[in-house]
């Protein structure tokens, strides 16, 4: 602090409150969770150190493999489907026509809804007796319309709702990025006689490369957080047919009160999240950090 006035630059002290706060309530818990995975704790009293017990239990947990697979399947399928929808939709909604602006306003309304609200709406819509599912079911080859109650279909219903929830956000990303593509590129391509598809694949897609990467990483990392919507829609059922990894972690910790095993599962989530987030820093943050340095 004492040296500050001379250079007129802020010192470390300006960042200390945020850094300390983040370290105490975000970073420390992430480290603590690894420690807790070596403890036995039922949520009351004090955690007891038991060494590798939880990890052995985890290795023989029959649910783990299926939860991992479900999370992977959900992550990859929703990533592919959402990208296929969001990319053309984002490009379309980037147009400046008034009609497109009006329709786009509608597109983005789901962004405002909480997972809880979305889950309530779709559990009513997916009700086979009184919801829309009963009416649409026969059209889709499911005569009783019971998507949510059948072990093979429930995860697809969940993936549909996840897609419904997150398409607007990624459409918005693509819309913003499309608007930054220089119009000159299209004008030149038109002069050269390139058609619409050619322009889309030779100009739009390459120009959106960074956004495609960012959006993909966000979706894949996001698939580790698909927990609230699943809990509210199916509670992981029927049986364990939709018990994704984060939901398995939550139910183990806060429903079976096996916080130790829950922490071991959370550690797995943490490892997957860190691996993917390193990618995020590379893709989005790295350049920013570089430009911070340029500014000095």
Partner 1 sequence: MRRLNLPGGTAAALWLVVVAVPLYYVIGSSLRTQADYLDAGPLAPPSDPVLSNYGTVFASGFGHYLLNNVLVTVAVVAMTLGLAMPAAYAIVRSRSRLVSAGFSVMLMGLAIPAQAAIIPVYLIITRLHLYDTLAAIVLPSVAFGLPMAILVLSSTLRDIPAELYEAMTVDGAGPPRVFTSLVLPLTRPGLITAGIYTALGAWNGFLFPLVLTQSDSQRTLTLGLWNFQGQHGIDVPATMAAVVLSLLPLLGAYLAGRRHLLSGLTAGFGK
Q: Which of residues 236-255 bind partner 1 (CB under 8 A)?
A: 246, 249-250, 253-254
Contacts to partner 1 from residues 167-196, by CB under 8 A:
167-169, 172-173, 176-177, 186, 196
Check binding of 235 to partner 1 (CB under 8 A): no
Rounded-to-integer distance, Cα 151 and Cα 241, Å: 5
Instruction: Tell me the β-bridge partners of 241.
Output: none
Rounded-to-integer distance, Cα 151 and Cα 157, Å: 11
Exactly one of 2, 18, 184, 191 binds partner 1 (CB under 8 A); which one? Answer: 18
Q: Judge whether 264 and 37 are in contact, CB under 8 Å.
A: yes
- 3-state class (DSSP) for residue 244: coil
Q: Judge whether 142 and 153 are in contact, CB under 8 Å.
A: yes
Check binding of 26 to partner 1 (CB under 8 A): yes
Binding mask 120-149 for partner 1 (x = CB under 8 A): xxxxxx-x--xxx--x--------------
Rounded-to-integer distance, Cα 202 and Cα 186, Å: 10
Binding mask 44-73 for partner 1 (x = CB under 8 A): ---x--------------------------
Q: Tell me whether strands 39-40 and 48-49 are parallel, antiparallel or unpaired.
A: antiparallel
Q: How far is the CB of 78 from partner 1 (least distance, A)?
A: 15
**CB within 8 A of 207, min separation 6: which ones?**
177, 181, 185
Rounded-to-integer distance, Cα 34 and Cα 263, Å: 7
Rounded-to-integer distance, Cα 191 and Cα 54, Å: 66
Backbone torsions φ then ψ of 141, nearest 5 degrees = 85, 10
Rounded-to-integer distance, Cα 88 and Cα 204, Å: 10
Q: Which is nearer to partner 1, 131 or 241 (CB)?
A: 131
Residue 163's nearest CA partner among 77, 70, 78, 75 is 78
Q: Which is nearer to partner 1, 153 or 213 (CB)?
A: 213
Residue 173's nearest CA partner among 106, 84, 74, 91 is 91
Q: How far is the CB of 239 from partner 1 (least distance, A)?
A: 21
Contacts to partner 1 from residues 74-93, by CB under 8 A:
85, 88-89, 91-93
Q: Which is nearer to partner 1, 115 or 234 (CB)?
A: 115
Q: How far is the CB of 224 from partner 1 (least distance, A)?
A: 5
- 3-state class (DSSP) for residue 255: coil
Exactly one of 52, 59, 116, 188 binds partner 1 (CB under 8 A); which one? Answer: 116
Check binding of 36 to partner 1 (CB under 8 A): yes
Check binding of 208 to partner 1 (CB under 8 A): no
With contacts defined by CB under 8 A, name the span among 51-59, 62-70, 100-108, 234-242 that binds partner 1. Answer: 100-108
Residue 88: Cβ within 10 Å count: 14
Q: How far is the CB of 13 from partner 1 (least distance, A)?
A: 8
Q: What is the DSSP letter of 243?
A: -
Exactly one of 154, 212, 218, 230 binds partner 1 (CB under 8 A); which one? Answer: 218
Q: How far is the CB of 147 from partner 1 (least distance, A)?
A: 15
Check binding of 115 to partner 1 (CB under 8 A): yes
> How many residues of this chain bind partner 1 (CB under 8 A)?
110
Q: How far is the CB of 285 from partner 1 (least distance, A)?
A: 4
């Amino acid at each position: 602090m004492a040296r500050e006035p001379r250079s007129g630059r802020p010192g470390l002290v300006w960042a200390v409150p945020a850094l300390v706060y983040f370290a105490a309530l975000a970073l420390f818990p992430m480290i603590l969770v690894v420690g807790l995975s070596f403890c036995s704790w039922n949520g009351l009293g004090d955690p007891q150190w038991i060494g590798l017990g939880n990890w052995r239990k985890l290795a023989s947990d029959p649910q783990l493999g299926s939860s991992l697979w479900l999370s992977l399947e959900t992550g990859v399928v929703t990533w592919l489907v959402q990208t296929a929808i969001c990319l053309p939709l984002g490009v379309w909604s980037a147009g400046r026509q008034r009609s497109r602006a009006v329709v786009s306003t509608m597109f983005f309304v789901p962004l405002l809804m909480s997972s809880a609200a979305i889950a309530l709406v779709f559990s009513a819509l997916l009700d086979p007796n009184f919801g829309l599912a009963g009416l649409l079911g026969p059209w889709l080859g499911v005569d009783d319309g019971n998507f949510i109650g059948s072990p093979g279909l429930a995860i697809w219903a969940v993936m549909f709702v996840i897609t419904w929830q997150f398409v607007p956000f990624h459409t918005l990303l693509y819309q913003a990025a499309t608007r930054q593509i220089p119009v000159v590129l299209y004008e030149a391509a038109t002069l050269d006689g390139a058609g619409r598809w050619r322009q889309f694949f030779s100009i739009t897609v390459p120009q959106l490369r960074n956004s495609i990467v960012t959006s993909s990483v966000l979706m894949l990392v996001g698939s580790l957080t698909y927990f609230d919507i699943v809990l509210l829609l199916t509670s992981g059922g029927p049986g364990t047919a939709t018990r994704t990894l984060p939901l398995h972690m939550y139910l183990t910790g806060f429903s079976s009160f096996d916080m130790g095993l829950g922490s071991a599962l959370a550690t797995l989530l943490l490892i997957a999240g860190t691996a993917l987030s390193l990618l995020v820093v590379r893709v989005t943050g790295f350049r920013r950090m570089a430009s911070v340095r340029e500014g000095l």
